[in-house]
Structure 1
């Protein structure tokens, strides 16, 4: 499995400095760039930045931060994780990522998603009642743009295009594009319909329960006559020198973040026992390099995925701890996983 790819994923969570004080959004963005530079130096394959419009996250425009990262790195691929296409304009998304692709000498990729948070919809003037239609129409247009030829298109929620050409073009004529899916069979089939790679957000429960989605993707591609690409997964986790240290750094910040989201979605407060169970048997990859590598290898083997992106930040973990997690992932975890799967 030498063609396996390993990535890191962050939303630019605003961290604490070593005195325990939250840094500014500007400092958090610069910190993301530093973490990506370190990942590049350590041989990590991909850095993915997720779009959010909430106070605890600093990255609202992934491609702008990726452009900054492009100027300080040489090999790491630069991805969104995800771009909320439903509340953006497909033409502008293509243009911005084609620009990142130019700055990075062909290293840009976009992961399109509907968004698990809804703040961007009222912020940019979209009606949540159009949630499904917005994504369906916009991904249809985006796929046409990927041909990099003049486009004629019409829909119900955006002005039509008539033989419209879009610039800049990519140098290679190809912009790597994935679709991020959280567990909707319809979204899996749509991804197969367009012949795009599938990135599964596996953020809770046993990873093996997502195997039917991967099977559905491959069967749908076969029946629709499109290409079934290698599937990727992204899951949360954290790495420290020991299992106990990793859990004790991660848990308090994760609890605050999880309960904040839970209040909005009607979830009860998370208990430590639930957290520990998720670490042991679910989709939280937390622990020493050896522990995380072992659990990653098991998930990769059981699902047959070709890429694993670790969401390495959750809440306000200290800057120093986050840098150490990136260092351990690149220098120890990735080589261990490759050895375990050899």
Structure 2
């Protein structure tokens, strides 16, 4: 399978599931049966094999913590997917670069690329200081894609640094070396500043997954406004020697398909509420709250949490968001057509939204391939076995 950014005229889809673990509405850790986790993992792996057959060009695993997602270390799951699948690109979507030593991440990425036969796509996201994030991504990119990358001793592990106390710059090679000559690197980028940073370095970008409580729940940025930002990203990239196009960008989309628009929108909103309940309850229990205490009202009063916006946003707000593939088959097809007409060619589908059961997400994933856009999926589907 070609990389996600290759074959620019072909529309490609990436299957992304949140791997929701806690039973709907649950806040008590004792209700989270490990058998449920084992069942969820196995079901997800089986569905990824089927997604590859349906024509998903990539499979993405998030880095999420707490009971609302059973994926705190996505690279472990990517290694399992490397053994289960044969064609689809494996996308870390995304690793939070500031939570890990960058050279440790680089080693993990290289192992996954080798195990998968050269199918890894690195995805990195920022939580924290922008300058430090960019520095860490540069280190990861350099360690993965360039042998003997120069690294300051301060960026080495303590053991390695002990041998290089007098060196200003060390030459570091991360082993094993990846199969791909150049492992693709994607960063989550939404603002003009983050897009410009990615463009200067030639990084691919994930964009479009907008949750803005101040804008009625879901942000209302138009497709045209986002495309204009991306064209500036292309221009800056060209100024720095990089040929970038819409194939280097991926629209991240909440994806829920149901019989009616209203049903689909309510599934998304109910999932968010369940996610907040589980995550908020988990944090409250860690802080010593009683099991029966609901933290939702307290969280809603905190101005910077975004919870109040989720409470107040009507279900219809998810239908209005042009980057949310939420609705009936007909509605989602129309929204997808509008995005493709706007120039988008890569879509990372958060199937089921956040906080919904895995099976809900998988139903939407199959509906996308079989009912919404079968012709587009056919271009990247596995060939049918030949008769003997």
Query: Smaller-chain TM-score range?
Result: 0.7 to 0.9
Alpha-carbon contact 2:113-2:180 (below 8 Å) kept: no
Distance across 1 between alignment mates of 2:153 and 2:373: 44
Distance across 1 between alignment mates of 2:375 and 2:333: 6
**Offset, 1:273:** 5.8
Give the 3-state SS of the residue equivalent to 2:77 in structure 1: helix
Q: Which residue of 1 aligns with 2:241?
A: 225
1:169 aligns with 2:177: yes
The range that moved more, 326-335 or 153-162, is 153-162
What TM-score do you get using the length of structure 1 for normalisation? 0.82
Alpha-carbon contact 1:191-1:197 (below 8 Å) kept: yes
Give the 3-state SS of the residue equivalent to 2:315 in structure 1: helix
Alpha-carbon contact 1:179-1:196 (below 8 Å) kept: yes
With over 3 angstroms needed to count, the CA separation of the structure-2 counterparts of 1:258 and 1:216, relative to structure 1, is farther
Alpha-carbon contact 1:148-1:169 (below 8 Å) kept: no
**Offset, 1:281:** 4.2
Distance across 2 between alignment mates of 1:193 and 1:170: 24
Aligned residues: 320
Give the 3-state SS of the residue equivalent to 1:217 in structure 2: helix
Q: 2:64 aligns with which of 52, 62, 66?
A: 52
Q: Which residue of 1 aligns with 2:320?
A: 280
Distance across 1 between alignment mates of 2:56 and 2:173: 35
**Offset, 1:139:** 1.5
Q: 2:138 aligns with which of 118, 128, 140?
A: 140
The range that moved more, 319-328 or 289-298, is 319-328
Q: 1:66 aligns with which of 59, 75, 78?
A: 78
**Offset, 1:258:** 5.8
Superposed CA RMSD = 2.8
**Offset, 1:75:** 1.5
> Gaps (5+ residues) in structure 2?
1-7, 25-30, 162-168, 211-218, 281-298, 379-388
Deviation track 1:136-172 (CA, whole Å, cap 9, x = no partner) reads 2112212222433112122766567612211111223
Q: Which residue of 2 aligns with 1:91?
A: 103
With over 3 angstroms needed to count, the CA separation of the structure-2 counterparts of 1:334 and 1:158, relative to structure 1, is farther
**Offset, 1:207:** 4.0
Q: Which residue of 2 aligns with 1:125?
A: none
Distance across 2 between alignment mates of 1:309 and 1:297: 15
Deviation track 1:282-334 (CA, whole Å, cap 9, x = no partner) reads 432112233212201212322x2220111113344334333222211222223
1:104 aligns with 2:112: no
Alpha-carbon contact 1:222-1:228 (below 8 Å) kept: yes
With over 3 angstroms needed to count, the CA separation of the structure-2 counterparts of 1:134 and 1:337, relative to structure 1, is same
**Offset, 1:31:** 3.1
Distance across 2 between alignment mates of 1:51 and 1:319: 16
Distance across 1 between alignment mates of 2:329 and 2:114: 35
Correspondences of 1:115-154 after superposition (within 5 Å): 115=127, 131-154=129-152
Correspondences of 1:295-310 after superposition (within 5 Å): 295-302=335-342, 304-310=343-349
Deviation track 1:256-280 (CA, whole Å, cap 9, x = no partner) reads 3368687463432435763303313
> Gaps (5+ residues) in structure 1?
116-127
Give the 3-state SS of the residue equivalent to 2:134 in structure 1: helix
Deviation track 1:191-217 (CA, whole Å, cap 9, x = no partner) reads 111111122143232342322320221
Greater relative CO, 1 or 2 (CA 8 Å, sep 6+): 2
With over 3 angstroms needed to count, the CA separation of the structure-2 counterparts of 1:25 and 1:50, relative to structure 1, is same
Q: Which residue of 2 aligns with 1:206?
A: 221
Q: Which residue of 2 aligns with 1:194?
A: 201
Q: 2:332 aligns with which of 292, 295, 320?
A: 292
Q: Which residue of 1 aligns with 2:19?
A: 12
Q: Which residue of 1 aligns with 2:386?
A: none
Q: Which residue of 1 aligns with 2:351?
A: 312
Give the 3-state SS of the residue equivalent to 1:86 in structure 2: helix
1:41 aligns with 2:53: yes
